[in-house]
Structure 1
């Protein structure tokens, strides 16, 4: 049985659909994953004009994505983030506007979640084989976890918002992998808006944002990502992305097994170990994809009970899928349930 989710309220009514408009699609690779974008082009253009515009849009999207990587990738030695990570202890590092915006959002999420999400957990992600240092096939020792965890801690960062700079306390390594994709989705959406394409759908690695309407007047419908178990999955859930974003975090995409245990890529910065509970995935629906991305990670680390309490306290539209011997139990916040039609 399929279900649909529709926004309870819109921040602004969508612009009228472009009757007889043409939906164009672009796609490629970025940030170790894939991206795609769809936008409605107005009719009445000559074929060569439409082709030239489409080519220019693709180049523009790639430039937006390349700029995010240049600022925020800890996989690139030349990025602004890596420049901060290499900075001498006690030095202040000025960050570009977008990078600083993401840092502020990351630190706010870290504060609100009690450190369940922590942008300084990069060394732990590396230690467990999910970062630039490369994969591993065995769990690290307790001593290694304790040693590396001492280098982490979002509270160690001093920020000067007026100058857009952050102090390197020594040995801190920022990692925006759980928030930069969402920011990039938002950035591409803003770019398309600036090109006069108010009707569009953007996706990067499963994180999505939709705005406006299709030429037929229908919203951009997307299916929420769900894990499978023994060939079964929860009921298909479709959402109308009318000025909304959606991000899903789960333990079923990146993991390794050792000694009969499964170690997933979502690290709990508070313990230094991968999150270990029955939670299979968390989906967050939010106006901003950047925040949906970070919050889905925080809720995954918090787990079903604490995560649900946090989501309710912050009025988040969130869905938790919890593993059971018979498949999955779904837990939905009131804000999520209110969208079900």
Structure 2
């Protein structure tokens, strides 16, 4: 176990583990990454039913929100003619509503229309990765691409569950969809009859209850690969965790690292010392989006934003002598 332990505040009593409950370990590939689940369920709940419930929810996210799948709901909208209205599934509406709320609250540090810029920088489904020696996007291309983006262009009728394509608008939920998928998996496990679980999609996690031995699901907070600092472990009961890091997807060009997290306000990859941001929240979808927001904002503005809103977050910044970590008050209060 890591040197420091985090315990959720106001933690609900975990459900009682029924006698003879079985632990199921499941996993597979999804959304261009992997998923895994450790779940405890009564013997009366078949393993096959648990796995089917999980895979159905993951496929639902792909069918609705994958920009890599040409017939998904989001892809169909992105290619639709100007002026057309599109009815949306309820889950899609919920994610779009959350994304817009995050965009407004962060003053554009989060933007679900940033897809064209993601492509320009070589991180999207319609682009090849940029490598050393290739020409980076110039100012004219970035300006033209940014003109196609902007969360303010979204015309969303929440009451009717419909969205209008204004022309050339591209939605991209890559900053929120994995967290949403984790929430759906957790919901599926609950509905299938599981009494506790640890669900993970692409490194984002959500936990509930305790294991067969009565211990919670202990999860080490992610740190940059070269960070030798003392880690932290959280009892993930009624909590989700998401991390945004500059070491996951990136390319190096003329001595500079270009990470996949873009600042929608500039159209360029973020340019500051933050190596990673980890957020704890009850909803993994919210934790996922907030990790992106705080990364885009940078250490100073991100910390102020998180403190004002009581967000539990860990900031790890690169410096000459290694790494520097900062905990928000909400996270520090969880230290045992």
Q: TM-score, structure 2 length as denominator?
A: 0.96
Residues 224-248 of structure 1: per-residue CA shift (max 9 Å, x gap)? 110033xx42212110011100000
Q: Which moved more, 1:92-101 or 1:274-283?
A: 92-101
Match of 2:72 among 69, 79, 96: 79
Cα separation, 2, equivalents of 1:150 and 1:7: 43
What's the counterpart of residue 117 of structure 1?
110
Residues 87-134 of structure 1: per-residue CA shift (max 9 Å, x gap)? 111222111111111000000011111110100000001110111013
CA drift at 1:313: 1.0
What's the counterpart of residue 212 of structure 2?
215
Cα separation, 2, equivalents of 1:40 and 1:275: 41
What's the counterpart of residue 289 of structure 1?
284
CA drift at 1:150: 0.6
What's the counterpart of residue 321 of structure 2?
326
3-state SS of paired residue (1:335):
helix
Cα separation, 1, equivalents of 2:326 and 2:167: 41
Match of 1:316 among 307, 311, 317: 311
Residues 190-245 of structure 1: per-residue CA shift (max 9 Å, x gap)? 0010011031110001000001111111111111110033xx42212110011100
- Give the ranges of 4+ consecutive aligned residues of structure 1 lying more than 6 Å apart after TM superposition: none
Match of 1:202 among 186, 199, 204: 199
1:225 equivalent to 2:222? Answer yes
What's the counterpart of residue 170 of structure 1?
167
Q: CA RMSD in A?
A: 1.3
Cα separation, 2, equivalents of 1:19 and 1:57: 19
Equivalent residues, number: 331
CA drift at 1:143: 1.2
CA drift at 1:338: 0.3
1:180 equivalent to 2:155? Answer no
CA drift at 1:257: 1.1
What's the counterpart of residue 39 of structure 1?
39
Cα separation, 2, equivalents of 1:19 and 1:321: 43
CA contact (8 A) 2:53 2:192 kept: no
Cα separation, 2, equivalents of 1:100 and 1:15: 31
What's the counterpart of residue 254 of structure 1?
249
CA contact (8 A) 2:41 2:193 kept: no
CA contact (8 A) 1:17 1:216 kept: no
What's the counterpart of residue 132 of structure 1?
125
What's the counterpart of residue 9 of structure 1?
10
CA drift at 1:136: 2.0
Query: Could you list the runs of 5+ residues in structure 1 that have no partner in the other structure?
Result: none
CA contact (8 A) 2:221 2:234 kept: yes
CA contact (8 A) 1:18 1:40 kept: no
